Amino acid sequence: MNFDYVREIYGVMAKLTDDSEFFALLLVLRSTGQRALLLVFDPHGMLVHQELIQRRSPRTALWAAGQPGHQEISVIAGEPTHYSVPPR
């Protein structure tokens, strides 16, 4: 990945399951592309989710919501986006 095109980086840890904490990165790409890249890594550092999001708003946010063990990763970079792990 060519980081010359990344404008802002946001990161958050989220306890999506009782025993696993995941790490999410939101890379806001330069304004000419109007996109953000969401990357989610599992506790072993493996990439488990990636999504290119069309930014429709200048507001950008990334946070973990909910009770530990049942959290989800929430993103605002246009339309609200949520990432969670299905129950076992």
Q: Is the pLDDT of residue 88 over 50?
A: no
What are the residue ranges spanned by the domains of the chain?
3-83
The pLDDT of residue 19: 81
In whole angstroms, give the CA distance from residue 28 to residue 55.
9
Residue-wise pLDDT for 57-87, tens only, equals 667 778 788 887 777 888 877 666 666 766 4
The pLDDT of residue 45: 93
Distant-in-sequence, close-in-space partners of 43: CB < 8 Å, separation ≥ 6: 20, 21, 22
- Whether the model clears a pTM of 0.85, i.e. scores above it, the answer is no
At which residue do the structure tokens 């790409």 appear? 29
In whole angstroms, give the CA distance from residue 47 to residue 42.
7
Structure token pair of residue 73: 């990763």
For residue 50, give Cα distances in angstroms to 18, 60, 68.
23, 17, 22
